[in-house]
Amino acid sequence: MSDYQTLHNASISDKSSFWLEAAGQIHWYQPPSKVLDDSNPPFYRWFPDGKTNACYNAVDLHVETARAEQTAIIYDSPITQSASKLSYRELQHRVRQVAGMLTDSGITIGDRVIIYMPMVPETVIAMLACARIGAIHSVVFGGFAANELAVRIDDCTPKAILAASCGIEPGRVVEYKPLLDAAIDSATHKPDNCFILQRKEASASMIDGRDHDWVAAEAKAQPADCVELDANHPLYILYTSGTTGQPKGVVRDTAGGIVSLKWTMKNIYGVEPGDVYWAASDVGWVVGHSYIVYAPLFHGNTTVLYEGKPVGTPDPGAFWRVISEHNVKVLFTAPTAFRAIKKDDPAGDYLNKYDTSCLSALFLAGERCDPDTLSWAENNLNVPVIDHWWQTETGSSICANYLGIETLPIKPGSPTKAAPGYDLHVLNPQGEPCAAGEIGALAAKSPLPPGTFSTLWNAPERYVSSYFETFPGYYETGDAGYIDEDGYVFVMARTDDVINVAGHRLSTGAMEEVLAAHPDVAECAVMGAADALKGQIPVGLLVLNSGCKRSHDSVCAEVVQRVRDEIGPVAAFKKATVVTRLPKTRSGKILRATMRAIADGDDWKMPATIDDPAILDEITDSLKQIGYPGSA
C-alpha cells in the first residue's frame, strides 16, 4: 500500500489521532485535550479547548527560533518598478507597531477590521496585526466597487478600515479613497476610524476625526504583543459571491487554519522552511490568504508578494523573471495565467531568457486545468505540473498530488486524489453513489477536516442550507465530476454547468478540453444555452493564439467537428464564436453563468468581481451574431 494511501486511510479511520499529530507541529499556549467536538453537526469544532495565536505562529516563533534574519517577504512590483525585502525580525517590528496602532484606536478581541488594499507589504502586515490582537480581519479586494464594499461594511460592521490611497494597474492608477468614502456614505454602519496608506502615485484627501495617516499612526503607536486566543476564535471573514446577490462571509477559525495550512506546505507542496514559495494571486482572494500570507509564514518560508500581471508587466516573461531573480522553488497560480502566457508566447521564447532551474514544481488551481495547458507547462518548464482542487470554503486542497509524501502519477484533467481528511464521493440527485466514471455531484462526508470554514458570518442557517442540506451528512461542493476506477477525481464543471441535452447529462468541461486542444485556441469556454427542442445545447467561445492568421470561421468549424469526433453527435455542439478575451473575475474564474444568462436573454447583474466590464459588450455582440438569445 502506498504512503499516500496509508496516510489517507488513517485520516478517515482515525481522524483524532491524525490531526492531533499534525497539531503537535504548531505552537500552543494551551494544547488541546480534545481534538473534535462533534456535538452540534454540521458545526463541528476542532481542538475546542486549545489556545494559540496565528501571528505568533507566523512571525514571533521564527524570530525566537533562529529565523530572525531570514527574509520573510519579498515584495516585487514591476508596475512601480520597485522591490524590497522584510526579514522575520523586521516583519515582527512592523506588525507589532500596526497592531499597536489598532489597539490604540480601541480595537480589541473580536472586533472586525476591513482591509481594502493593493498588493503591498502593508496589506500582509495589517492581516497579521489583526491576528496578533484577536481582531477579525476581512480583506476586500482593493478597488472593489463602492456598493459592494458597502454591503460588506454593513455585514461585518468593522470598527476600523485600513486602506491605501490607490492601487496601480498597467497604464492606470485606481484611486481607492473616493470608493471608500462613497461606500461609507451609503453604508448603514459607520467605522470609527480609517487608516490610509498614502502612496506616491495618488494622494487621498482625509476626513477630520475619522481618517488617519497610516505611517504617522504606526510610528507613534505603542507596540502590541500577541494575545492568547481560543482555538475556534475567528481568524478572518472572507466574502465569496452568493447566488442570491448577498455575498457569503466565509469564516475561518484560528487553530484549524494554522494546523491544516502548515501541514500542506511540507506534505502537498514539498517545501522546507527557508525555501522561497510564490503564490501568484492576490491577498483579496482565498489563495492570497492561505498561500501568500499564512501558510508560507507558518512554515518558515520566504513568500513572494507580486504586484504585477503574468503578461504586460512588461511581457510574457514576467513570471520567469521573478522565479529566476528570487530563487523560487514552488509556484502556485491559476491556469488562466498560464493560458495568458501561452497565448502571447506560444513557443515559450521568453522562458529561454531566464534560468528557472530553481523551480521544482508548478501548482495550478482556481479553474480546472485543461490537458493542453498542462502539457504546454510540462513541456516548457520540465517540472511536475500539479493541478489541485480547492475552494474558498475549504481554504486548502480538497484534492491534490502530494510531493512531500508520494508523488502520484499525473492524469491530465484530474487534480489527482482526495486530500487527507476528505472522504469524497460522487452522488446522483437522489443522494445515491454513482458508479466509477459516472458524473454526479462531488460531496465530502462530514466532518470536514480542520481549516475548513466553520460557519458563514451572521448566517448560520445559510451555512446549513447552502452546503449541508441537499445531501444530509455531506458537504456539497457545488462542483460536478466523477471518480475513476483508480480513485482519481475529475472535476468537470460547477454543478449548474453540467448541461442537459435532450435528456443526456453532459460536461461542459469535457467539451472545453476538446476545444483547448486545437492548436490555434489559447483559451475557451463552453456553456449551455436554452434550446426549445433539446432543452440546452452547448455554445463555445474561443480566444485564439496571438499571431493566428487563419479565418475565424475555419477554426470554429474545426472545433465543432472535433467535438463531434471525440464526444459524439449526442453533444449537439454546433456553434462556436471567436472573442478577443473571456470575461473573468479578478481571480481568473470565467464568468460562465453571466454568459449563459446573456445567451438566454435573461436578466443579469454585472458581477462585482469582473476584471473588465466592457468585455461583456463584445460577448453580447458575438453571441448575437450566432443567433443568441434565441427563441427558447
Given a cut of 90, whether residue 35 has pLDDT beyond it is yes
Q: CA 138 to CA 143: how far, in whole Å?
A: 15
Statement: residue 52 has pLDDT above 90:
yes
> What's the rounded Cα separation, in Å, for the pair 299 and 265?
7
Task: Using pLDDT thresholds of 50, 70 and 90, give the confidence band for residue 203.
Answer: very high
Over residues 112-135, mean pLDDT: 98
Number of helices (H), then strands (E), belonging to the chain: the values are 20, 33
Question: Comparing 20-24, 50-54, 208-212, 507-511, which segment has the lowest mean pLDDT?
Answer: 507-511
The C-alpha cell at 17 is 489521532
Place of cell 467605522: 191
Give the CATH superfamily of 502-625.
ANL, C-terminal domain (3.30.300.30)
Q: 140-169 pLDDT, tens per residue?
A: 988 888 888 999 999 999 999 999 999 998
Q: Is there a common fold for 415-498 and 502-625?
A: no
Distance CA 272, CA 541 (A): 42
- pLDDT for residue 244 is more than 70: no
DSSP β-ladder status, 82-87 and 71-77: antiparallel
Taken as a whole, the chain contains a residue count of: 632
> H-helix or E-strand containing 123?
helix 121-133
CB 512 within 8 A of CB 576: no
Q: Of 219-233, 366-380, 511-525, which gets the smallest average pLDDT?
A: 366-380
User: For the segment 256-274, what is each residue's pLDDT rounded down to a tens digit?
Assistant: 999 999 999 999 999 999 9
pLDDT at 1 over 60: no
Mean pLDDT of 486-490: 96
**Nearest of 93, 183, 103, 81 to residue 141 by alpha carbon:** 183
Q: How confident is the model at residue 631 (pLDDT cuts 50, 70, 90)?
A: low
Report the distance separating Cα 390 and Cα 403, nearest Å.
17
pLDDT of residue 369: 81
Domain boundaries of the chain, sorted by first residue: 415-498, 502-625
More confident residue, 604 or 389: 389
Query: Would you tell me how many other CB atoms lie within 10 Å of the CB of residue 321?
Result: 19
Q: What percent of the chain has pLDDT over 70?
A: 97
Q: Give the pLDDT band of residue 576 (cuts 50, 70, 90).
A: very high
Q: Which CATH class is domain 415-498?
A: mainly beta
In the predicted model, what is the mean pLDDT of residues 365-383?
A: 88
Task: Find the mean pLDDT for residues 511-528.
Answer: 91
The β-bridge relationship of strands 51-52 and 71-77 is: unpaired
pLDDT band at 36 (very low <50, low <70, confident <90, very high): very high
- Return d(Cα 5, Cα 203) in angstroms, integer: 56
Joined together, the cell numbers standing for residue 378 give: 510540462
Distance between CA 120 and CA 125 in Å, rounded?
A: 9
State the pairing for strand pair 229-230/51-52: antiparallel
Would the pLDDT of 191 be above 90? yes
Does the pLDDT of residue 245 top 90, yes or no? Answer: no
Within 204-306, residue ranges assigned H as helices are: 214-220, 254-267, 286-287, 295-298
Query: Among residues 373, 366, 288, 406, which one has the least CA distance to residue 6?
Result: 406
The answer to whether the predicted template modeling score (pTM) of the entire model surpasses 0.75 is yes
pLDDT in tens, 165-175: 999 988 889 99
218-244: string of b/e by CB count within 10 Å (b at 16+)? beebeebebbebbbbbbbbbbbbbeee
Residue 502 has pLDDT above 70, yes or no: no
Calculate ∠ Cα 576-580-581, nearest 5°.
Answer: 90
Q: Residue 243: its pLDDT value, please?
A: 44
Q: What is the pLDDT of residues 551-573, one digit of tens each?
A: 999 999 999 999 988 887 878 89
Report the mean per-residue pLDDT for the chain.
93
Instruction: Give the amino acid at 442.
Output: L
CA distances from residue 117 to 167, 196, 268, 282, 614 in whole angstroms, order as listed: 7, 10, 29, 10, 24
Of 197-206, 344-353, 385-394, 577-586, which range is least confident? 577-586
Distances 572 to 176, 482, 531, 540 between C-alpha atoms, Å: 47, 22, 11, 12
Per-residue burial over 367-391, b if 16 or more Cβ lie within 10 Å, else e, is bbbbbbbbebbeebbebbbbbbbbb
Query: What is the average per-residue pLDDT within 392-411?
Result: 95
Q: What is the pLDDT of residue 496?
A: 63
CA atoms within 13 A of residue 104's CA, in its CB half-sphere: 18
**What pLDDT does 507 receive?**
74
Confidence band (pLDDT; 50, 70, 90) for 241?
Answer: low
* Residue 534: pLDDT over 90: no
- What does the pLDDT average to over 81-105? 97
Rg (CA), the chain: 24
DSSP state of 507: E
125 close to 195: Cβ distance less than 8 angstroms:
no
Name the DSSP class of 222. Answer: P
